[in-house]
């Protein structure tokens, strides 16, 4: 599923992130990849399900992001679930360290996209939702959907 978003070609979105987390802030990060991984992402063969990022030794790494092996890659293919380094400025990393040391905050990737030919990741600073928060959000969306349907029926002649 590839679509356009503000002149950027979005390759993959983490659809469950907004359902499972309260998004506090977002950052754009570059990612260190091999050539076959880039070719595989261009084909849209990437998954953000169950992926997360962690700050380790002053560097940020993304874990459990699945990039399928490139079909013509043969020996140049690498492990699909390997940890990959994210490229951020020092002040952004220190901001992430400040958030992640607080209880309950996580670093969740929201989407993978191309920006001027480079692969970027939107990284969210998020706090996990409780079950009752999720139910409340679902009920709110359902009520809005019913109101829109009712209004469209009322004003259609």
Kindly report the CATH number that applies to the domain delimited by 3-129: 2.40.280.10
pLDDT of residue 112: 93
Task: Note the pLDDT tens digit of each residue in 16-46.
Answer: 888 788 888 899 999 999 888 888 999 889 9
Task: Note the pLDDT tens digit of each residue in 40-68.
Answer: 999 889 999 889 999 988 899 999 999 98
Q: Structure tokens of 19?
A: 């359902």
Q: Please report, for the chain, the start and end positions of each structural domain, with discontinuous segments joined by +.
A: 3-129
Q: Of 136, 111, 28, 40, which Cα lies nearest the Cα of 79?
A: 40
Helix (H) or strand (E) holding 90: helix 90-100
pLDDT of residue 72: 83
């Amino acid at each position: 599923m590839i679509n356009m978003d503000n002149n950027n070609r979005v390759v993959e979105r983490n659809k469950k992130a907004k359902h499972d987390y309260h998004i506090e802030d977002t950052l754009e990060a570059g990612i260190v990849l091999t050539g076959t991984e880039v070719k595989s992402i261009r084909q849209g063969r990437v998954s953000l399900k169950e992926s997360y990022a962690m700050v380790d030794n002053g560097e940020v790494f993304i874990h459990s992001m699945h990039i399928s092996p490139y079909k013509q890659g043969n020996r140049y293919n690498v492990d699909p679930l390997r940890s990959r380094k994210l490229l951020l400025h020092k002040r952004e990393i220190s901001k992430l360290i400040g958030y992640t040391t607080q209880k309950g905050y996580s670093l969740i990737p929201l989407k993978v996209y191309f920006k001027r030919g480079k692969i970027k990741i939107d990284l969210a600073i998020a706090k996990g939702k409780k079950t009752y928060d999720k139910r409340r959000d679902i009920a709110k969306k359902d009520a809005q959907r019913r109101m829109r349907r009712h209004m469209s029926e009322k004003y259609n002649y």
